[in-house]
Amino acid sequence: MKMLTRFLPIAVLAVAAMSAMAQSAAGNWTGKLDINKADMMKSAPKDMPADQRKQMEAMMDSMLVSLKKMTFSMTVNANNTWKMVVKNAPGPTGPNGKPQPDSTAEGKWTQKGDKVTFEQTKENGKAKPKDANSTKSMTLSKDGRTMTMVENQGGQTIKIVFKKA
Please indicate, yes or no, if residue 2 is contained in any of the structural domains: no
For residue 77, is it within any domain? yes
Give the CATH number for residue 105. Answer: 2.40.128
* Beta carbons of 10 and 130 less than 8 angstroms apart: no
Tally of structural domains, the chain: 1
The answer as to whether 44 is a domain residue is no
In this predicted structure, what is the pLDDT of residue 153?
A: 75
pLDDT digits (tens, 9 = 90+) for 108-120: 999 999 999 999 9
Contacts 24+ apart (CB under 8 A), 99-107: 106/81, 106/82, 107/81, 107/82, 107/134
Mean of pLDDT over the chain = 84
Is 83 inside any structural domain?
Answer: yes
pLDDT digits (tens, 9 = 90+) for 82-117: 999 999 888 776 566 677 789 999 999 999 999 999
Q: Tell whether pTM > 0.95.
A: no
Q: Which of 34-48, 56-70, 85-99, 139-153 has the highest mean pLDDT?
A: 139-153
**Quick check: is 10 in a domain?**
no
Residue 15 covered by a domain = no
Q: What is the extent of the structural domain holding 99?
A: 27-35+70-164
| Cα separations in angstroms, 58 against 40, 61, 62, 134 | 12, 5, 6, 33
* pLDDT value at 16 more than 50: no
Q: Is residue 93 part of a domain?
A: yes
Q: Has residue 140 been placed in a domain?
A: yes
pLDDT of 128 reads: 93
